[in-house]
């Protein structure tokens, strides 16, 4: 039996995505929830080439790779989604229907459905109706870009965690940069060159061969182009006023991780954490639990 609840959150009318488009996700809930207390909820968005499994990695013989499971063990409800146009979420009828603003609109609509469902107690019999909710947006890599843009436009979250996304540029060796783009113009995250940059040498072969890593998929040309527009993400970061948690591996894609903090100039509460012995894909690192526990402590601070 899976330890998550499959959900599909309707997002209203999204042009070019057919009737009744939805965002697919897995909802993880603690076994005991005190509905009279403020409930911490995490809304997790994966990076390019991955899907919702990045936050619930299943490695045969090793159940220690799930960030969502770690969160629910500490009393936090966690939702990990497939972003719009990926995996089991609604797909575009044509690639050009995915504009830079489309995913943010859909993800905010999913956020509204999530909160309403939690308050009504309608998402699952195991989750009671919740009176008070504090919501954290967590985005890894390209998901960090989405969280930043979404927060600037919609103020969806009470706090945000930006993991491995760089507002300053992309720091990769020339061979890996060349491998990022395949002949169709899509991001080719499955390239061996890029995988070497995303993982430290001590990541076990079983983890690198698990479905969450093995089944990586190209990213559309439109969204790939959005990642090159660092001016847009820097501008969005400068509008954010809620608390921000930033994390990078000791080997990551930012040219200067500590300088990333200055992008969030209007937040008076910015936390920076460098994960030792980790490359860009922190949830595969041998030290991953250090990051999760640091985020958990940060999420439980009052806002």
Could you read off the pLDDT of 226-279 as tens digits, one per residue? 666 788 999 999 999 999 999 999 999 999 999 999 999 999 999 999 999 999
Burial 39-71 (b: 16+ CB within 10 A, else e): bbbbbbbbbbbbbbbbbbbebeeeeebbbbbbb
Residue found by looking up tokens 């540029």 in the block: 169
Note the pTM of the prediction, 2 decimals: 0.94
Task: Specify whether the backbone of 223 is left (phi greater than 0), alpha (psi in -120 to 50) or beta.
Answer: alpha
- The predicted pLDDT at position 229 comes to 73
Give the largest Cα separation in the chain, rounded: 55
Q: Are 42 and 77 in contact (CB under 8 A)?
A: yes
Strand pairing class (39-45; 5-10): unpaired
Q: Are 247 and 166 in contact (CB under 8 A)?
A: no
- The predicted pLDDT at position 170 comes to 85
| 268 burial via Cβ count (<10 Å: 0-12, 13-18, 19+) | exposed
In the chain, what are the domains? Answer: 5-299 (3.40.50.1820)
What are the tens digits of pLDDT across the range 110-164?
A: 999 999 999 999 999 999 999 999 999 999 999 999 999 999 999 999 999 999 9
């Amino acid at each position: 039996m899976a330890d998550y609840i499959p959900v599909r959150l309707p997002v209203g009318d999204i042009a070019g995505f057919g009737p009744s488009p939805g965002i697919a996700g897995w909802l993880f809930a603690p076994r005991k929830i005190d509905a009279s207390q403020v409930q911490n909820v995490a809304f997790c968005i994966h990076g390019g080439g991955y899907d919702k499994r990045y936050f619930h990695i299943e490695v045969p013989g090793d159940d220690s790779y799930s960030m969502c499971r770690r969160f629910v063990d500490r009393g936090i409800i966690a939702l990990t989604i497939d972003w719009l146009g990926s995996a089991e979420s609604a797909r575009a009828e044509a690639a050009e229907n995915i504009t830079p603003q489309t995913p943010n609109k859909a993800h905010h609509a999913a956020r509204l459905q999530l909160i309403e469902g939690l308050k009504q107690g309608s998402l699952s019999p195991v989750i009671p109706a919740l009176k008070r909710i504090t919501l954290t947006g967590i985005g890894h890599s390209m998901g960090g870009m989405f969280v930043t843009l979404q927060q600037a436009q919609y103020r969806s979250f009470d706090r945000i965690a930006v993991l491995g996304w760089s507002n300053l540029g992309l720091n990769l060796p020339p061979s890996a940069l060349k491998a990022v783009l395949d002949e169709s113009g899509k991001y080719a995250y499955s390239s061996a060159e890029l995988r070497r940059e995303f993982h430290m040498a001590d990541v076990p072969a079983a983890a690198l061969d698990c479905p969450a890593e093995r089944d990586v998929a190209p990213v559309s040309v439109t969204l790939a182009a959005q990642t090159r527009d660092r001016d847009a993400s820097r501008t969005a970061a400068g509008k954010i006023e809620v608390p921000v948690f930033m994390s990078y591996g000791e080997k990551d894609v930012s040219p200067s991780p500590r300088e990333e903090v200055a992008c969030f100039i209007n937040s008076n509460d910015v936390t920076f954490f460098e994960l030792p012995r980790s490359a860009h894909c922190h949830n595969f690192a041998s030290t991953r639990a250090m990051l999760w526990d640091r985020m958990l402590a940060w999420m439980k601070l009052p806002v």
